[in-house]
């Protein structure tokens, strides 16, 4: 199997596995704080560049895309409230919710998706998951440096209206929309931090159920706390998640016990 095909299978497998740990139908526990181990360190919080399980799991908990993926890979509402799909499967028009906000107070708008997608497929970003965009209009040509990023098949046709055009139907397209590589980005924040964007908890902005605290870029522990600006915060069952990198399985078992 070619390297890209292996990565694609891996990427989709991660997508199916990722869930929002504190959201949805999870029953409320007597304690609203949990501690969780992870076997590897975070590499980045930048959704355009993250490829490892630990980073992607963090991003899937503190940020949100058009959809979120629930139990058994069920597609659940995220930033999108409605979608109209063309009969030929090559065009999607999403209506976005007007009450979604970033943790800095900015509204989450259609242009945030346009900016993020263009940034991810841009050769300048060199995203290893840019190939997941294959099938979206001009994505492959943009990644190859043959046409400008502005020709990508995604347009903000209103503040809360997003149109996506495909070159060919993608059977798992809606599932992809719940994968971190397709999440929106706040351009103001990316511009503010530049090359530092996503390198620490502070060099980020969040639109999902949690906000990350305490990751300095190299330490082995951090936490996720409730995002007070999250549109669906009443359905989040946890107040805090504490993470600790534990590379030794025996140590992990002892801590669990």
The tens-digit pLDDT sequence of the chain (257 residues) is 444 444 444 444 444 444 444 444 444 445 699 998 999 999 999 999 999 999 999 999 999 999 999 999 999 999 999 999 999 999 999 999 999 999 999 999 999 999 999 999 999 999 999 999 999 999 999 999 999 999 999 999 999 999 999 999 999 999 999 999 999 999 999 999 999 999 999 999 999 999 999 999 999 999 999 999 999 999 999 999 999 999 888 888 888 88
Q: What pTM did the predictor assign?
A: 0.88
Kindly compute the dihedral angle of the four CA atoms of residues 224, 100, 149, 84, in this order, to the nearest 10 degrees: 120
**Residue 16's CATH number:** 3.90.76.10
Domain that holds residue 82: 3-256
**Residues contacting residue 136 through CB under 8 Å, at least 6 positions apart:** 117, 152, 153, 154, 164, 165, 166, 167, 170
91/85 Cα distance (integer angstroms)? 6
Q: 89 φ, ψ to 5°?
A: 70, 20
Domain count along the chain: 1
What angle is formed at CA 253 by the lines to CA 249 and CA 255, rounded to 5 degrees? 115
CA 214 to chain centre: 20
* HSE toward the beta carbon, residue 253, CA cutoff 13 A: 3
């Amino acid at each position: 199997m070619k390297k890209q095909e292996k990565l694609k299978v891996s990427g989709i497998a991660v997508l199916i596995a990722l869930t929002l740990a504190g959201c949805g139908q999870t029953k409320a526990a007597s304690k609203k704080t949990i501690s969780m181990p992870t076997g590897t360190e975070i590499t980045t919080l930048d959704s355009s560049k993250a490829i490892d399980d630990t980073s992607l799991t963090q991003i899937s908990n503190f940020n949100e895309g058009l959809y979120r993926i629930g139990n058994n890979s069920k597609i659940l509402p995220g930033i999108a409230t409605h979608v109209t799909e063309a009969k030929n499967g090559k065009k999607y028009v999403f209506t976005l919710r007007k009450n979604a906000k970033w943790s800095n107070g900015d509204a989450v708008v259609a242009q945030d998706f346009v900016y993020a997608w263009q940034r991810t497929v841009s050769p300048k970003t060199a995203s290893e998951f840019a190939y997941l965009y294959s099938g979206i209009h001009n994505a492959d040509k943009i990644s190859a440096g043959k046409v400008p990023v502005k020709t990508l098949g995604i347009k903000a046709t209103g503040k809360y209206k997003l149109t996506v055009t495909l070159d060919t139907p993608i059977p798992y397209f809606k599932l992809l929309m719940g994968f971190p590589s397709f999440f929106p980005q706040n351009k103001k924040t990316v511009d503010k931090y530049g090359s530092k964007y996503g390198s620490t908890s502070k060099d980020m902005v969040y639109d999902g159920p949690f906000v990350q605290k305490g990751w300095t870029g190299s330490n082995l522990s951090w936490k996720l706390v409730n995002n007070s600006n999250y549109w669906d915060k009443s359905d989040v069952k946890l107040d805090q998640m504490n993470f600790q990198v534990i590379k030794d399985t025996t140590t992990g078992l002892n801590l669990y016990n």
